[in-house]
Amino acid sequence: MNWDDESAPVTTTGDGDRLVKAAADGDDRAVEAALRPKDLGEFVGQERVREQLDLVLKAARARGATADHVLLSGAPGLGKTTLSMIIAAEMGAPIRITSGPAIQHAGDLAAILSSLTEGEVLFLDEIHRMSRPAEEMLYMAMEDFRVDVIVGKGPGATAIPLELPPFTLVGATTRAGLLPPPLRDRFGFTGHMEFYAPVELQRVIHRSARLLDVEIEEAGAAEIAGRSRGTPRIANRLLRRVRDYAQVKADGVVTQEIAAQALQVYEVDARGLDRLDRAVLGALLKLFGGGPVGLSTLAVAVGEERETVEEVAEPFLVREGLLARTPRGRVATPAAWAHLGLTPPGQGPTGPGQQGLFDR
């Protein structure tokens, strides 16, 4: 894969030696790419989306036609990019990768579309962040495989129609609600990616461990899966860090005890909270008595930008039931007090005393 040019076409064929070389070079991004499943049979989880997508692709191949446009939505790290590559592999087509923020002008999109070959898959990540002119050009390209290129300005401007070969657009978004209905309606198939259950993440971890030549026990995989926030990308990242710890501090075998010790070193607690998550909860509880407190004030208290707290920490804390968003501000839940081993104001200590975060 050409990581330097996101609009460059890439093939989906894998090379077994690439993973070994990437691991030896310490290139985590290349390792992550090499760990991606190559077909729907290898892809773990998302059973409903996989079943529906399999029908779409098999029907297109039977007709000898280009697959319908596909929209994949869901949180980061759930496999949207991987599925786009699998779509290309299943259709026997090359894939071209770009992103919404990279397309700021209609001309940028026209240049990409005009260079596509018949049947090629165009993966457009963060599609909701495209500029409006490019978005409007995409409507006609998706529906009629044609774009109008405007030449000149003012009254003398001329629209030159440009025919495009049939292609498949795979759009990925973390915020499907921001897509305008005319764009959303032009996708023939829409799949929503759900967070993974721990047992599914264990399968992901065991597969990655085999590819990385890491010896891991079932309890070790379960320990990592439980701290992976329901996200395969995080599970693979934590596996690599636990592997490092096991190689340096132990005999290389990932047990439950080794995994727990390693993740304590990397500040990932038993529920998957990292340093930023705990800083946000700690400030909310210790400085503001559990809230309510405004987002900007909370961000200043932890020394982070407002957007970082809102987009990185909050979604997981809300999903875990540790934080609530209210009209008056952010409020900690009883579970947050219990998780940090603190006593809410006005209540006497009950049960065990203050406990360390990693002892819970």
Domains of the chain in start order, with CATH, are 9-192 (3.40.50.300), 198-265 (1.10.8.60), 275-359 (1.10.10.10)
Question: For 41-62, what is the mean pLDDT?
Answer: 89
Q: Are 310 and 327 in contact (CB under 8 A)?
A: no
pLDDT at 201: 93
Q: Are 115 and 87 in contact (CB under 8 A)?
A: no
For residues 32 and 295, the model is more confident at 295
Q: Which residues contact 21 (CB under 8 A, 6 or more apart)?
A: 30
pLDDT at 155: 63
Residue (of 301, 296, 308) closest to 282 by Cα position: 301
pLDDT at 221: 92
pLDDT surpassing 60 at residue 18: no
Min mean pLDDT across 8-22, 242-256, 328-342 is at: 8-22
Q: Given the structure tokens 């025919």, which residue do they identify?
A: 163
- pLDDT digit string, tens, across residues 333-352: 888 888 888 787 766 554 44
pLDDT surpassing 90 at residue 287: no
Which residues have a catalytic role annotated? 80-81, 125, 174, 233
pLDDT at 293: 87
Question: For 289-316, what is the mean pLDDT?
Answer: 86
pLDDT at 195: 92
pLDDT surpassing 80 at residue 23: no
pLDDT at 196: 92
Instruction: Copy the structure tokens of residue 299.
Output: 């961000």
pLDDT at 199: 92
Work out the pLDDT band at 123, boundaries 50, 70, 90: very high
Question: For 190-204, what is the mean pLDDT?
Answer: 91
Cis before 232 (ω within 30): no
- Cβ–Cβ contacts within 10 Å for residue 182, how many? 12
